[in-house]
Amino acid sequence: MAKGRVIIDETICKGCELCVSVCPKHILKLSETKTNSAGYSPAEMISDDCIACTSCAKMCPDCAITVEKFD
């Protein structure tokens, strides 16, 4: 059961994959279908198994990630 959700601001994500590399549940990947106005493929959630650890948000150099924790 998901404990949270990753919210990615696609307009500022630079597709660096740092969030993808630190996610312990492997629920993030770079989009294969979207690009933002700067031409980057933003990260996206590919599974609902988020444990709300916030590793992705802490690692993001552009502060493009927010983790919403469920009660």
Chain-centroid distance, C-alpha 34: 14
CATH of region 4-69: 3.30.70.20
Write the CB contacts of 67 (distance below 8 Å, at least 6 apart in sequence).
4, 5, 6, 7, 50, 52, 53, 54, 56, 57
Q: Percent of the chain, pLDDT > 70?
A: 100
pLDDT digits (tens, 9 = 90+) for 24-55: 999 999 999 999 999 999 999 999 999 999 99
24, two tokens: 């312990």
**Rg (the chain; Cα; Å):** 11
